[in-house]
Amino acid sequence: MDVVKQLLRVVAGPVLALALPFTASAQGLIRDAEIETILREYSDPLFEAAGLKPADVDIYIIQDDSLNAFVAAGQNVFIHTGLIMQSDTPEQLKGVIAHETGHIAGGHNVTREQAMGAAQGTSLITLGLGALALFAGAPDAAMALFGSAGQFGMLTAFTFTRTEESAADQYGLDFMEKTGQNPEGLLQFMEKFRYEELMSVARRDPYFRSHPISTDRIANMRKRVAQIAVNSKPQDAHSLEQLAMMKAKLVGFIGPPSRVLSRYPASDQSIPAKYARTIAAYRAVDIKAAMTGIDELISLKPDDPYFHELKGQILFESGKAAESVAPHRKSVELAPQHALLKVNLARSLLGAKNAPGIKDEGLAEARIKEAEGLLIDAIALEKDNAFAWNQLAAVYAAQGRTGDADFATAEEAYNVGDMGRAQVFAMRAVKKLDPATPNGQRASDIAALSDPRNRSGRGGRQPLALHTKH
């Protein structure tokens, strides 16, 4: 995430306003394999309890210090990093997610044309924390990937009725009960922020603007919460640990260094504290301290895929692409279901191909081939991952497959909603590729979809589908 900031120093214009951290209005979608995995572990049982298929529900993480969560445009849950940071227990966070799931179960959002309209014009850009580094020297490419992410602020302007809120509260309690979890967290959360009711509307966190906490609302929940709490499972240590790791990572990546030092002083020898300090060292470009920190973490928990991922990231971004291959490969071995980890490894392999001193043609070719396989696997998991398409275009270019490279660039542009560029590259690919091949076929589809005559509304991009699970 620090890379976002560095990047934005060189990128001019409106992009600056949407991804700068530390202000309430700062918004940018972030991708992180570890945080996404934990949020899915927290949420999937609740989605199932609601009768939803977890694979059909997408979770988006918004980098924003303010406290907020909302659903929009069908089965999409949006969670602010501020909500994670301000949750004292996993149950508080899960309680809010259960409530939001209640809105989906109640069909509250899908019936609202206003929200649908806002979402359809929205092209959401998602970038892995590591993926941004490649663009540090290429602000144009970064600009293209950021695209029109600012539009999604419109989604939050939308509020539910009191009846819908009360229904979502009841649903949320049902889902906590069905999963054997203690719903007191949701109540604690509401009580913790009740004072905000007395504050001016402008100073309230967005969540409480759309979810007013009335005494009635809390009173209505309290009795049922107490009944469910009696039968719920005790707090589990694993969930607590996961919350601590998410917070450490967010503080390390987003927070100012002073926050890392005050929250995680050197005397704190816990794993989350070491994690936050290691990330802070990496952000401060103290590579020696970052490497010492990450090696210690790996020795403490050798099977944590995200420690290996961070080690790969530190090495890659300090110019050691060839050395970053092994830790990234380890992260993929430990968590093979993650598209983001595969893309990291592919990027390292591509970087290592050109590493100084690499004279071995066969090795370079093998690395490109391996990167190709990884990116194709990643795209099978997330077909709209623009960065994976960007890297696949680089693979094809290195292999001299110019038609396929143009096709992959067209996909990249299409998936960030840049229809003009998608059109140009799709047309080039159509001229070079056999129309009977899958890439040739898809290139002509993109050419048609991005044709100005076929574009409708705001750019013609399909609504809100970025890291859909397939």
Tell the smallest beta-carbon distance from residue 169 to Zn ion (Å).
8
Residue among 234, 250, 231 nearest 242 (CA): 250
- Asked if residue 193 lies in contact with residue 210, where contact means CB atoms within 8 angstroms, the answer is no
Tell the smallest beta-carbon distance from residue 159 to Zn ion (Å).
8
Among 71, 96, 125, 168, contact with Zn ion (rule: CB under 5 A): 168
Tell the smallest beta-carbon distance from residue 224 to Zn ion (Å).
17
Residue among 367, 446, 368, 436 nearest 407 (CA): 446
Distance CA 238, CA 190 (A): 24
* CB closer to Zn ion, 219 vs 266: 219
Backbone phi, then psi, for 302, in 5-degree steps? -65, -20
User: Residue 195, exposed/middle/buried by CB under 10 A (0-12, 13-18, 19+)?
Assistant: exposed
Only one of the segments 208-216, 256-264, 279-287, 372-380 lies at the binding site for Zn ion (rule: CB under 5 A); that segment is: 208-216
Tell the smallest beta-carbon distance from residue 168 to Zn ion (Å).
5
Tell the smallest beta-carbon distance from residue 211 to Zn ion (Å).
5
Only one of the segments 75-83, 109-117, 166-174, 395-403 lies at the binding site for Zn ion (rule: CB under 5 A); that segment is: 166-174
Distance CA 464, CA 109 (A): 14
Total length of the chain: 470
238: number of Cβ within 10 Å: 9
Only one of the segments 28-36, 127-135, 174-182, 209-217 lies at the binding site for Zn ion (rule: CB under 5 A); that segment is: 209-217
In angstroms, what is the C-alpha Rg of the chain? 23
User: Residue 427, exposed/middle/buried by CB under 10 A (0-12, 13-18, 19+)?
Assistant: middle
Contacts of the segment 39-45: beta carbons below 8 A, 24+ positions apart: 39/79, 39/97, 41/242, 42/90, 42/93, 42/94, 42/97, 42/239, 42/242, 43/77, 43/94, 43/97, 43/101, 45/179
Which residues on adjacent β-strands are paired with residue 60?
Answer: 78
* CB closer to Zn ion, 170 vs 468: 170
* CB closer to Zn ion, 168 vs 281: 168
Taking CB under 5 A as the criterion, which residues in 293-312 touch Zn ion? none
* CB closer to Zn ion, 175 vs 316: 175
* CB closer to Zn ion, 103 vs 347: 103
Rule CB under 5 A: say whether 428 interacts with Zn ion: no
Distance CA 8, CA 16 (A): 6
Tell the smallest beta-carbon distance from residue 196 to Zn ion (Å).
15
Q: In sequence order, what DSSP letters do the residues of 244-260 get, joined into one string?
A: HHHHHHHHHHHS-HHHH
Only one of the segments 19-27, 127-135, 167-175, 423-431 lies at the binding site for Zn ion (rule: CB under 5 A); that segment is: 167-175
* CB closer to Zn ion, 186 vs 349: 186
Tell the smallest beta-carbon distance from residue 373 to Zn ion (Å).
44
Going by the DSSP 8-state scheme, the letter that residue 128 receives in this structure is E
Binding mask 354-393 for Zn ion (x = CB under 5 A): ----------------------------------------
Rule CB under 5 A: say whether 133 interacts with Zn ion: no
Tell the smallest beta-carbon distance from residue 63 to Zn ion (Å).
22
Only one of the segments 56-64, 123-131, 184-192, 210-218 lies at the binding site for Zn ion (rule: CB under 5 A); that segment is: 210-218
Tell the smallest beta-carbon distance from residue 172 to Zn ion (Å).
9
Tell the smallest beta-carbon distance from residue 104 to Zn ion (Å).
11
Distance CA 94, CA 175 (A): 10
Rule CB under 5 A: say whether 211 interacts with Zn ion: yes
User: Residue 276, exposed/middle/buried by CB under 10 A (0-12, 13-18, 19+)?
Assistant: buried
Residues in binding contact with Zn ion, number by CB under 5 A: 3
Helices (H) and strands (E) in the chain, counts: 23, 5
Only one of the segments 30-38, 127-135, 163-171, 187-195 lies at the binding site for Zn ion (rule: CB under 5 A); that segment is: 163-171
* CB closer to Zn ion, 211 vs 353: 211
| Residues of this chain that bind Zn ion (CB under 5 A) | 165, 168, 211
